[in-house]
Amino acid sequence: MDDTLAVLRAALDAQSQGIPSALVTVVEAQGSVPRHAGSKMLVYNDGTFIGTVGGGAMESQVIKEAVIAIREGTTRTRSYTLNDIQAGDPGVCGGTLQVFIEPLVAVPRILVIGMGHVGKALAELAKWMGFYVAICDDREAYCNPEYLSAMDEYVVCKPSEVTQHTRIDKNTYVAAVTRGLPVDLPLIPALLATEAAYIGLIGSRRRWALTAKALKAEHGLDDASLQRVFAPIGLELQAETPHEIAISIMAQMIMLRHGGTGQPMQWLGEVGEAE
């Protein structure tokens, strides 16, 4: 039974949930081979997979190549000859098989911790911008579909325990818009233990100075670790309202995601255009 539909559905789910993966497709098959051209499998960044391109040692090699492709973000084509195991071939079927490995661009994930006015505005903006949005608060009344609809995950727990309840990986942007120092002290070490692409903490410079001092004294964190934290969070826009602050936070995330500078755009004019 062809499992193409299951593989494609899994690929769509992976992209929409921000899960790194790669789609592997048999693009050419000659002679006696286990799968025909067009056969597909989806490989996740931890090496698990859905579907098959033939099984055995050959498929194991394909999976390793797919994991590397996910990490490097590059497509690749690989050919396998299935003639002689003694000669190093990954099979004895007698044919040749070529696969195309395509890392899938995952939707970026954002985790908003603290669902007050700013957190709510930020989650709404991120969802509008196409992010996979997970929200977290230790108050159930502020973390449910009635309070804020259409979010992808609702995580009700202590902020410091959020890493135990949702995935935080290299595709995840974390915005800690929390209530203050008592929440931040146990939260920041937990976030720094993840591979998050971005960790931002709301508050004034003074609040961050006090937080950083306490993190060094109580948790043994050093300056190099704390440099991963963007605090105060966001770009300097002189933002005041929750929605303005949300825009400054999203602007910083987009800048980092795409390698921007945050500098003002300048109109350079067209070549030959009159000055």
**Whole-number average pLDDT of the chain:** 89
In terms of domains, do 116 and 252 share one?
Answer: yes
Domain of residue 136 covers 109-258
Is residue 117 a part of any domain in this protein? yes
The answer to whether the CB of 126 falls within 8 A of the CB of 110 is: yes
pLDDT interval class at 116 (50, 70, 90): very high
Is residue 232 a part of any domain in this protein? yes
Task: Tell me what pLDDT residue 130 has.
Answer: 94
Is residue 236 a part of any domain in this protein? yes
- CB atoms closer than 10 angstroms to residue 134: 25
Is residue 158 a part of any domain in this protein? yes
Least confident of 26-35, 39-48, 191-200, 218-227: 26-35
Task: Tell me what pLDDT residue 82 has.
Answer: 66
Task: Tell me what pLDDT residue 263 has.
Answer: 85
pLDDT score of 53 more than 80: yes
In terms of domains, do 41 and 113 share one?
Answer: no
Residue 20, both tokens: 């790194």
Is residue 270 a part of any domain in this protein? no
In terms of domains, do 147 and 97 share one?
Answer: no
Q: Which residues pair with 101 in a beta bridge?
A: 24, 76
pLDDT digits (tens, 9 = 90+) for 64-107: 999 999 988 899 999 887 654 543 334 445 578 889 999 998 88
In terms of domains, do 33 and 80 share one?
Answer: yes
Q: How many domains does the chain have?
A: 2
State the CATH number of the domain containing residue 222: 3.40.50.720
In terms of domains, do 117 and 253 share one?
Answer: yes
pLDDT score of 14 more than 70: yes
Of 4, 42, 44, 7, nearest in space to 23 by CA? 42
In terms of domains, do 87 and 126 share one?
Answer: no
Helices (H), the chain: 4-16, 56-72, 117-128, 181-192, 205-219, 223-226, 242-258
* pTM value surpassing 0.75: yes
Task: Tell me what pLDDT residue 94 has.
Answer: 56
Residue with tokens 């309070």: 147
Task: Tell me what pLDDT residue 55 has.
Answer: 74
Task: Please give the average per-residue pLDDT across 136-140, as a whole number.
Answer: 96
Q: What is the DSSP string of 89-140?
A: -S--SS-EEEEEEEEE-PPPEEEEE--SHHHHHHHHHHHHTT-EEEEEES-G
Q: Does residue 57 sit in helix, strand or coil?
A: helix
In terms of domains, do 88 and 204 share one?
Answer: no
pLDDT score of 220 more than 80: yes
pLDDT score of 213 more than 60: yes
In terms of domains, do 171 and 94 share one?
Answer: no
Return the percent helix, strand and coil in the chain, to nearest 5: 35, 20, 40
